[in-house]
C-alpha cells in the first residue's frame, strides 16, 4: 500500500477547495473532540497525587451548602486510621471589583495548625507558617495568586462577605508553592468565627472537614467509619475521597460524563455524515479512473485501499490541525478563571495519549465515512466504470 | 507455425439492456497468432469493442470458450484476472484515460506499482517507455499540459511499460487529428514490427486498418470470414 502513497496524496488534494473545506470541518470537529477527550481525561481519569490519595472530604449528606457542627472535628480525629482533620470553610465574598474575573479566586477559612499537615504538598517556609499560626488576621496565598495579582508579604487583602455578614481585613503572611498551580487563599477560620455576631449559628458550624488518612488503603474504611459515627445525628455526613468529592462537586452541573459523551457522539456522527457525503461525491466524480486502474491490473482490494487511504489522508490532516487548535483551547481553559473551581482543568492539555486518541478518532471517521463509497467503487465493473462520463 | 495468442470458439456475449435481449457476439471463432497486428472492423454495434473487452478479460462471455495466452479466462477469479491483465495486457483507450493529477512519467509508472520493482527501477522503465514513444522531454508534464496526440502516446507508453504480450487498442485514433493519428498508428506499427508485439486494434477507419497486418470484420455480432466485408460496408469519409 505504501507504493500508492503518492497517488493517494495527489488524489486527496486534487480538488483543493473541497479538500480545504473538508479538512476545515474535520479540524473544527476534532478540536471540539480533542478538548472533550482532554476534559474527560482530566476530570474522570486523572490519577490522584500521593497527597491527594490520602485525603477525604466530609460534608453534610444533604448538600455541600448545608453546614455540619464544628464539634464533629474531635470525634473524627478519634476514629482509627485518621491522621489529621481540619475544618474547611468556603467563604466566597468579594475582593475589590467582582466584575473583574482576576479578582475571583477561592477563599477558605481553615485551621493554621493543620493546613500544612493535611496538605503536605504545600511548601511554605517555617517562619511564614509560624506567622500564619500566630496572627489571627493573617492569610496565606498560593504562588500563582501572588503572581497574578502581584501580592507580596505584608499586603492587605479585604474580603467583603456575602454568605457571611462580615468584612475580613487580612494580611498576607505567607506565600506557598503547590504543584497544581491554583489561585487560592487560606485564612484563619477562627478570625471568621470571632467576626460573626455572637448569636450567629454560623459560628459553630463548618462547611466541611478535610481529613488526612494514615494510608490510601485506610481511605474507604475511614469514610465509612466517619459516616457511621454521625448516622444517628441530625447532621448525617457524607465522606469521600478528595477525587470523588471533586467529581460530586461537578455533578452539581448535571451528569457531566453523559453530557460530554453526548456532545462527543453528536459531533462524531455529524462529521461522519459530512465526510461520507464529500467522499461519495469525490469517488463518484472519479469512477471512470477506477475503471482505468482496474484495466491496468489494480485489484478491487487495491482500489478499496486507495479510496480509504485518500479519506484517511484528509481526516488525518484535519485531525492534526484540530489537535493543534484543541491544544490552544485547552491552554486557554486551563488559564481561565473558571478553572480555579475545578483544579483538574488546570492540568487540561493535549497529552500524547489524548493526541493519539484524537487522531485515532479522525482516522476512524475517515475510514468509516468512506467505506461504503470505497466498497462500491472497488466492486464496480470496469465497463460500467469506463462508461461513466462524470 | 506461429504460436496462438488468442483463440475463441463459439464465443457468445448476450446481455439485457432495459427490457431488450441483446446479442452482442454470436458464435465468434477467431485465432490470432503471436506477432500479428489485427484490425477489428465493423460498424457501430457490430460487437468489435465487446470482443476486445472479452479478450482483455474486462467482461465475461455468456458462452463459448476464450483462450488468451493459453489461459482460459472463464475459470479465473477477478483477482487472478487483475494480476493476469497487469502482466500480459497493455490497453490503449480512445480517450487516452490518463490520471489527471499524475505527470506523464507517473502515469506510465502506474502499472509497475503492481510489480515487485523498486521505485528507481520503476522510474527507469517508465522513462524508457516514454523515450520510446518520443516523449522523453515531456516526462513531468501533466496530461492537461500535453496535446491529444502526446496524451495518446503517453497512454501507449503506459500500455507497453510492463512489456506485455498483447496490446489491445480501442479506437486509438478516434479522438485525434490526422497528423497525431498518423503518429500513433506509426508507433503501433513500429511496436509490432520492431518489437514483435501482438496488437489487436478496434477501428472503423480503413486508413487506420492499413497499418495492421490483417483485418477482420464483424457485423451484427458475427465475425465474417477472413477477407469478407459487410455487404453495406461503406468507407467512412476521412476527416
Q: If you ran DSSP here, which 8-state letter would residue B73 be given?
A: G
Are the C-beta atoms of residues A365 and A70 closer than 8 Å to each other?
A: no
Closest by Cβ to B114, choosing from A292, A298, A383: A298
- Say whether pLDDT at B236 is over 60: no
Distance CA B50, CA B60 (A): 10
Domain ranges of chain B: 4-221
Angle at A142 between CA A140 and CA A148, to 5 degrees: 120
- What is the model's pLDDT at position A42? 80
- A390 — pLDDT class (breaks 50, 70, 90): very low
Query: Cβ separation of A299 and B101 shorter than 8 Å?
Result: no
- Chain A residue nearest residue B58, CA to CA: A382
- What is the model's pLDDT at position B184? 92
- What is the model's pLDDT at position A278? 86
Identify the residue among B79, B98, B114, B122 best suited for mutation to test binding to A, counting A beta carbons within 10 A and taking the highest: B114
Residue A24, min C-alpha distance to chain B (Å): 22
- Say whether pLDDT at A143 is over 90: yes
Nearest to A12 by CA among A357, A307, A216: A307
Q: What percent of chain A has pLDDT over 90?
A: 56
**Binding-site residues on chain A for chain B (CB distance < 8 A):** 3-4, 6-7, 10-11, 14, 288-289, 292-302, 381-383, 386
Question: Cα(first)–Cα(last) distance of chain B, in Å?
Answer: 40
Chain A / chain B CB contacts < 8 angstroms: 64
* Grid cell digits, residue B198: 501482438
Q: Range with the lowest mean pLDDT among A136-150, A280-294, B224-238?
A: B224-238
Question: Cα(first)–Cα(last) distance of chain A, in Å?
Answer: 27
Closest by Cβ to B53, choosing from A4, A300, A383: A383
Query: Cβ separation of A296 and B86 shorter than 8 Å?
Result: yes
Output A258 or A127, whichever has higher pLDDT.
A127
Output A181 or A366, whichever has higher pLDDT.
A366
- Say whether pLDDT at A242 is over 90: no
Distance CA B172, CA B202 (A): 8
A110-136 pLDDT, tens digit per residue, is: 999 999 999 999 999 999 999 999 999
- Say whether pLDDT at A250 is over 80: no
- Chain A residue nearest residue B85, CA to CA: A297
Distance CA B154, CA B158 (A): 6
Q: What percent of chain B has pLDDT over 90?
A: 77
A263-312 pLDDT, tens digit per residue, is: 888 988 888 888 888 888 888 888 999 999 999 999 999 999 999 999 99
B164-181 pLDDT, tens digit per residue, is: 999 999 999 988 899 999
Q: What average pLDDT does range A340-354 have in this prediction?
A: 77
- What is the model's pLDDT at position B233? 60
Contacts of A199 (CB under 8 A, 6+ apart): none
Residue with cell 479522438: B175
Distance CA A307, CA A161 (A): 65
Angle at A273 between CA A268 and CA A274, to 5 degrees: 95
Distance CA A8, CA A308 (A): 9
- What is the model's pLDDT at position A274? 86
Q: Is the dihedral of CA B78, B80, B85, B86 positive or negative?
A: positive
- Say whether pLDDT at A351 is over 50: yes
Contacts of B238 (CB under 8 A, 6+ apart): B178, B205, B207
CATH number attached to the domain at B4-221: 3.40.50.300
Distance CA B36, CA B143 (A): 31
Query: Cβ separation of A297 and B82 shorter than 8 Å?
Result: yes
* Grid cell digits, residue A325: 487548535
Closest by Cβ to B82, choosing from A292, A299, A386: A299
Q: What is the ipTM of this complex?
A: 0.90
Residue A285, min C-alpha distance to chain B (Å): 13
- CA distances in angstroms from B3 to A84, B6, B33, B40, listed in the order given: 99, 9, 6, 20
Sheet with B4-17, side-by-side order of all strands? B20-33, B4-17, B63-68, B71-72
Identify the residue among B24, B58, B106 best suited for mutation to test binding to A, counting A beta carbons within 10 A and taking the highest: B58
Q: Range with the lowest mean pLDDT among A43-47, A215-219, B8-12, B46-50?
A: A43-47
- Say whether pLDDT at A389 is over 70: no
Nearest to A377 by CA among A276, A311, A277, A286: A286
Q: What average pLDDT does range A325-351 have in this prediction?
A: 80
A10-65 pLDDT, tens digit per residue, is: 888 888 898 899 999 999 999 998 998 888 888 777 777 788 889 999 999 998 88
Helix axes A5-12, A300-334, angle to 10 degrees: 60
Residues from chain B that touch A302, judged by Cβ atoms under 8 A, are: 114
Nearest to A121 by CA among A207, A187, A181, A45: A181
* Grid cell digits, residue A42: 482530566
Query: Cβ separation of B114 and A296 shorter than 8 Å?
Result: yes
- B239 — pLDDT class (breaks 50, 70, 90): very low
Residue with cell 476486445: B52
Identify the residue among A295, A303, A304, A390 best suited for mutation to test binding to B, counting B beta carbons within 10 A and taking the highest: A295
- Say whether pLDDT at B1 is over 80: no
* Grid cell digits, residue B181: 493519428
Helix axes A287-296, A352-379, angle to 10 degrees: 80
- Say whether pLDDT at B147 is over 90: yes
Three state DSSP letters for chain A: CHHHHHHHHHHHCCCHHHHHHHHHHHHHHHHHHHHHHHHHHHHHHCCCCCCHHHEEEEEECCCCCCCEECCHHHHHHCCCCEEEEEEEEECCCEECCCCCHHHCCCEEEECHHHHHHHCCCCECCHHHHHHHHHCCCEEEEEHHHHHHHCCCCCCEEEEECCCCCCEEEEEEEEEEECCCCCCCEEEEHHHHHHHCCCCCHHHHEECEEEEEECCCCHHHHHHHHHHHHCCCCCCCEEEEEHHHHHHHHHHHHCCHHHHHHHHHHHHHHHHHHHHHHHHHHHHHHCHHHHHHHHHHCCCHHHHHHHHHHHHHHHHHHHHHHHHHHHHHHHHHHHCCHHHHHCHHHHHCCCCHHHHHHHHHHHHHHHHHHHHHHHHHHHHCCHHHHHHCCC
Q: Where are the alpha helices (DSSP H) in chain B?
A: 48-55, 78-88, 104-109, 119-132, 148-160, 178-195, 206-209
- What is the model's pLDDT at position B238? 45
Q: What average pLDDT does range B16-39 have in this prediction?
A: 91
Are the C-beta atoms of residues A302 and A377 closer than 8 Å to each other?
A: no
Query: Mean pLDDT, chain A, as a whole number?
Result: 89
Contacts of B11 (CB under 8 A, 6+ apart): B25, B27, B28, B29, B30, B51, B54, B61, B63, B64, B65, B66
Q: What percent of chain A has pLDDT over 70?
A: 96
Q: What average pLDDT does range A180-186 have in this prediction?
A: 87
Query: Cβ separation of A11 and B101 shorter than 8 Å?
Result: yes
**Hey, which residues does A55 pair with through a beta bridge?**
A212
Contacts of A81 (CB under 8 A, 6+ apart): A213, A214, A215, A218, A221, A222, A225
Closest by Cβ to B113, choosing from A3, A14, A295: A3
Strand A167-176 versus strand A156-160 pairing type: antiparallel
Contacts of B142 (CB under 8 A, 6+ apart): B100, B101, B102, B103, B104
Distance CA A168, CA A93 (A): 9
Distance CA A340, CA A104 (A): 9
The b/e string for A13-49 (b: 16+ C-beta within 10 A; e otherwise) is bbbeeebeebbebbbbbbbbbbbbbbbbbbbeebebe
Calculate the CA A331 to chain-centre distance.
11
B183-227 pLDDT, tens digit per residue, is: 999 999 999 999 999 999 999 888 999 999 999 999 989 999 887
Query: Mean pLDDT, chain B, as a whole number?
Result: 91
- What is the model's pLDDT at position B204? 86
Contacts of range B226-234, beta carbons closer than 8 Å, 24 or more positions apart = B229/B41, B230/B42, B230/B43, B233/B43
Identify the residue among B113, B157, B162, B167 best suited for mutation to test binding to A, counting A beta carbons within 10 A and taking the highest: B113
- A259 — pLDDT class (breaks 50, 70, 90): confident
Output A152 or A338, whichever has higher pLDDT.
A152
Amino acid at each position: 500500500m505504501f507504493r500508492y502513497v503518492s497517488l493517494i496524496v495527489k488524489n486527496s488534494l486534487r480538488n483543493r477547495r473541497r479538500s480545504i473545506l473538508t479538512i476545515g470541518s474535520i479540524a473544527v470537529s476534532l478540536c471540539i473532540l480533542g478538548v472533550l477527550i482532554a476534559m474527560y481525561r482530566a476530570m474522570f481519569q486523572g490519577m490522584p497525587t500521593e497527597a491527594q490519595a490520602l485525603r477525604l472530604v466530609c460534608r453534610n449528606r444533604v448538600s455541600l451548602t448545608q453546614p455540619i457542627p464544628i464539634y464533629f472535628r474531635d470525634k473524627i480525629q478519634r476514629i482509627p486510621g485518621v491522621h489529621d482533620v481540619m475544618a474547611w470553610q468556603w467563604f466566597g465574598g468579594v475582593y475589590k471589583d467582582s466584575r473583574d474575573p482576576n479578582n475571583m479566586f477561592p477563599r477558605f477559612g481553615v485551621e493554621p495548625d493543620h493546613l500544612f499537615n493535611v496538605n503536605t504538598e504545600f511548601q511554605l517556609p517555617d517562619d511564614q507558617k509560624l506567622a500564619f499560626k500566630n496572627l489571627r488576621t493573617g492569610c496565606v496565598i498560593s504562588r500563582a495568586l501572588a503572581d497574578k495579582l502581584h501580592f507580596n508579604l505584608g499586603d492587605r487583602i479585604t474580603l467583603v462577605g456575602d454568605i457571611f455578614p462580615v468584612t475580613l481585613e487580612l494580611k498576607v503572611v505567607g506565600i506557598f508553592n503547590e504543584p497544581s498551580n491554583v489561585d487560592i487563599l487560606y485564612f484563619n477560620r477562627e478570625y471568621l468565627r470571632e467576626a460573626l455576631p455572637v448569636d450567629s449559628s454560623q459560628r459553630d458550624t463548618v462547611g466541611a472537614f478535610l481529613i488526612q488518612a494514615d494510608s490510601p488503603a485506610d481511605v474507604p474504611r475511614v469514610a465509612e467509619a466517619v459516616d457511621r459515627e454521625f448516622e444517628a445525628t441530625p447532621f448525617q455526613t457524607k465522606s469521600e475521597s478528595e477525587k470523588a468529592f471533586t467529581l460530586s462537586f461537578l455533578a452539581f452541573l448535571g451528569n457531566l460524563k453523559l453530557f460530554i459523551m453526548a456532545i462527543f457522539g453528536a459531533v462524531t456522527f455529524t462529521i461522519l455524515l459530512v465526510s461520507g457525503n464529500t467522499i461519495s461525491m469525490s469517488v463518484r466524480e472519479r469512477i471512470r479512473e477506477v475503471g482505468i486502474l482496474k484495466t491496468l491490473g489494480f485489484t478491487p482490494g487495491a482500489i478499496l485501499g486507495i479510496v480509504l487511504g485518500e479519506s484517511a489522508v484528509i481526516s488525518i490532516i484535519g485531525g492534526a490541525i484540530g489537535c493543534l487548535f484543541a491544544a490552544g483551547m485547552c491552554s486557554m481553559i486551563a488559564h481561565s478563571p473558571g478553572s480555579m473551581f475545578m483544579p483538574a482543568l488546570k492540568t487540561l492539555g493535549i497529552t500524547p495519549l489524548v493526541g493519539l486518541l484524537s487522531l485515532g478518532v479522525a482516522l476512524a471517521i475517515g475510514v468509516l465515512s468512506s467505506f461504503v463509497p470505497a466498497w462500491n467503487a472497488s466492486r464496480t465493473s470496469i465497463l460500467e466504470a469506463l462508461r461513466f462520463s462524470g | 507455425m506461429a504460436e496462438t495468442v488468442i483463440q475463441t470458439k463459439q464465443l457468445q456475449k448476450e446481455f439485457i439492456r432495459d427490457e431488450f435481449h441483446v446479442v452482442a457476439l454470436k458464435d465468434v471463432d477467431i485465432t490470432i497468432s503471436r506477432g500479428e497486428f489485427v484490425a477489428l472492423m465493423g460498424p457501430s454495434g457490430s460487437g468489435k469493442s465487446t470482443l476486445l473487452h472479452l479478450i482483455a478479460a474486462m467482461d465475461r462471455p455468456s458462452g463459448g470458450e476464450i483462450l488468451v495466452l493459453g489461459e482460459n479466462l472463464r475459470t479465473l477469479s477477478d483477482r487472478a484476472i487483475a494480476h493476469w491483465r497487469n502482466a500480459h495486457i497493455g490497453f490503449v483507450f480512445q480517450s487516452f484515460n490518463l490520471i489527471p493529477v499524475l505527470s506523464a512519467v507517473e502515469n506510465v509508472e502506474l502499472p509497475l506499482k503492481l510489480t515487485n520493482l523498486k521505485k528507481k527501477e520503476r522510474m527507469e522503465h517508465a522513462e524508457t517507455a516514454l523515450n520510446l514513444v518520443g516523449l522523453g522531454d515531456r516526462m513531468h508534464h501533466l496530461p492537461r499540459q500535453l496535446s491529444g496526440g502526446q496524451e495518446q502516446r503517453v497512454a501507449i507508453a503506459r500500455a507497453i511499460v510492463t512489456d506485455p504480450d498483447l496490446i489491445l487498442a480501442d479506437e486509438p485514433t478516434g479522438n485525434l487529428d490526422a497528423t497525431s493519428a498518423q503518429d500513433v498508428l506509426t508507433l503501433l506499427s513500429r511496436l509490432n514490427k520492431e518489437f514483435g508485439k501482438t496488437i489487436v486494434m478496434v477501428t472503423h477507419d480503413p486508413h487506420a486498418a492499413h497499418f495492421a497486418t490483417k483485418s477482420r470484420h464483424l457485423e451484427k455480432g458475427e465475425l465474417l470470414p477472413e477477407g469478407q466485408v459487410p455487404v453495406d460496408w461503406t468507407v467512412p469519409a476521412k476527416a
